[in-house]
Structure 1
Amino acid sequence: MGSRALSQIAALTGNPYPSPNHGDRRGYRPELIVLHYTGMDDAHSARARLCDVRAEVSAHWLIGEDGGIEALVPEDRRAWHAGAGAWQGRGDVNSRSIGIELANPGDRPFAARQMDALTDLLRGIMARWRIGPEAVIGHSDLAPGRKIDPGPRFDWQRLARAGLALWPDDGPDRPLAESLDAIGYPEGDAQTRLAAFRLRFRPWGQGPETAEDRRRAAGAAELYKRERQDAG
């Protein structure tokens, strides 16, 4: 379902944005898109929490297992989805981002219809706000050690093939910390940052740092650098 159809439904229902949990963007505009899984049993449970004033959490969009899309917070408002963290040296990610929650407990693959819906939704958001694929990230990217969503089962390569995220080829064997800094990961201990990187780019990786980690990170650093230069 496209954004125009969602707007039409919102106009008919009279209650287009059911979550009360949002605020002013504090002078920022959306420049990132953060993907999450809900970590709950189903979309109904997730919606209830994201719209509960006592929970003090929200997101701009919720995508159900069946591919249904619901707008919970206006995109020009600050939803409370990212929490503490940073990306590319930028804090207050809530003020700078649009949050998308995918209904998934975190222990299973994402349904094809759900991924189809996410693809359509991302295209619209990225066009509206002129956000490039280098700015589509996971919650785990900005909050290493604190968050792991959308998790190792999320298909980042599918989004990359559609031009909606980045997926690198391997590069030279360079120091891992240097590459992770260049990609945008926040500061932290080496093992925590490695785990966050693997969730996104090497979900099958285990154990101590390897040459494969370093080469993949170096390739990602170069890719992100090129995309940022093109976007600038």
Structure 2
Amino acid sequence: MKYLRLLIIITLFASCSKNIYQVSKNTYHKKAKQLGKSLVKIAPDTIGNRTTKVIESQNFNLRKPNIVVIHHTAQDSCMQTYKTFALERTQVSSHYVICDDGTITQMLHDLVRGWHAGNGSWGKNTDINSSSIGIELDNNGTEPFSYAQINSLTSLLEKLSTKYKIPAQNIIGHSDIAPGRKTDPSALFPWKSLAESGFGIWYDEEDLKTVTLPVDFDTTLALKYIGYNTSNIKNAIYSFKLHFNSDEVSHELSEKDKKILFLVMKEV
């Protein structure tokens, strides 16, 4: 009787899980069709006291993403993340999820606007969701990223960068676009090796030994030039160090940090 009850619970759980993903799939298709229909016809608008004319041009295509934002899920499994992105109440999504074993799951079309970046900015871009692809790495934030996972990430970035011509400096972390609010991917993320594969930027570590900073070097302007929001300079410094000097993360720039910042700025 005990085992029968357990079997029923497992069956019900599996059934509920399937329903969650079926509902999410059906809703995705419905929304995609609605968006498609909304593009078929341009409705005349009223601006001021006048109605706009409509003359459709044949010269267009869909907008292309220009930024990739890398996250860690802060959850304990891919299944948890799939469920989070499938439920309407969470109001969060990402285009791709990469599991610890390297499995890549696509959850949104590249050209639709995912809900992964939230309130953030990179350079003058203040609506990251509208111009980015979000990639979630299955990681709780305290463990190293697996070789299989980073290998799959590199392959995915190669595809996306080639397809959409995404510049290396626009392959960034959630913490880069949201200083003080987000710290993912964690300090354990291998930004250097990713840059060595051609995705993201890094500084010349040999130059770090000999570089001399200009007397008038402005660290705030340098951070802003790279892309960081410097409205809270301490948060911007923290996010910069999390990315480029993760062994010494703090809210203050050391002399070494300033040299790294100068060298990174030259790579942009």
TM-score between both structures, scaled by the size of structure 2: 0.73
Query: 1:172: Cα distance to partner?
Result: 4.0
1:105 and 2:140 correspond: yes
**Of 197-206 and 163-172, the range deviating more from structure 2:** 163-172
CA contact (8 A) 2:242 2:249 kept: no
CA contact (8 A) 2:223 2:230 kept: no
Question: Match of 1:214, as an amino acid?
Answer: K
TM-score between both structures, scaled by the size of structure 1: 0.84
2:259 is matched with which residue: 208, 215, 226? 215
In our comparison, the structure showing a higher alpha carbon Rg is: 2
**Counterpart in 2 of 1:96?**
131
1:153 and 2:188 correspond: yes
**Counterpart in 2 of 1:180?**
223
1:110-163 per-residue CA deviation (whole Å, 9 max, x = no partner) reads 000000100111100111111121110000000000000001000011111111
1:37 and 2:72 correspond: yes
**Counterpart in 1 of 2:7?**
none
2:237 is matched with which residue: 171, 174, 194? 194
**Counterpart in 2 of 1:127?**
162
Give the number of equivalent residue pairs.
207
Q: Higher relative CO (CA 8 A, sep ≥ 6), structure 1 or 2?
A: 1
* Structure 1: unaligned runs, 5 residues or longer: 1-14, 225-232
**Counterpart in 2 of 1:230?**
none
Question: Greater helix share, 1 or 2?
Answer: 2
Query: 1:19: Cα distance to partner?
Result: 9.4
Question: Match of 1:196, as an amino acid?
Answer: S
Identity %: 32
* Structure 2: unaligned runs, 5 residues or longer: 1-21, 36-61
Query: 1:69: Cα distance to partner?
Result: 0.3
For 2:155 and 2:259, locate their aligned partners in 1 and report how far apart those are by CA, in whole Å: 32
**Relative to structure 1, is the Cα distance of residues 153 and 94 closer, same or farther in structure 2, using a 3 angstrom cutoff?**
same
User: Does the residue aligned with 2:90 lie in a helix, a strand or coil?
Assistant: coil
Taking the TM superposition and a 5 Å limit, the aligned residue runs for 1:129-144 are: 129-144=164-179
CA contact (8 A) 1:176 1:213 kept: no
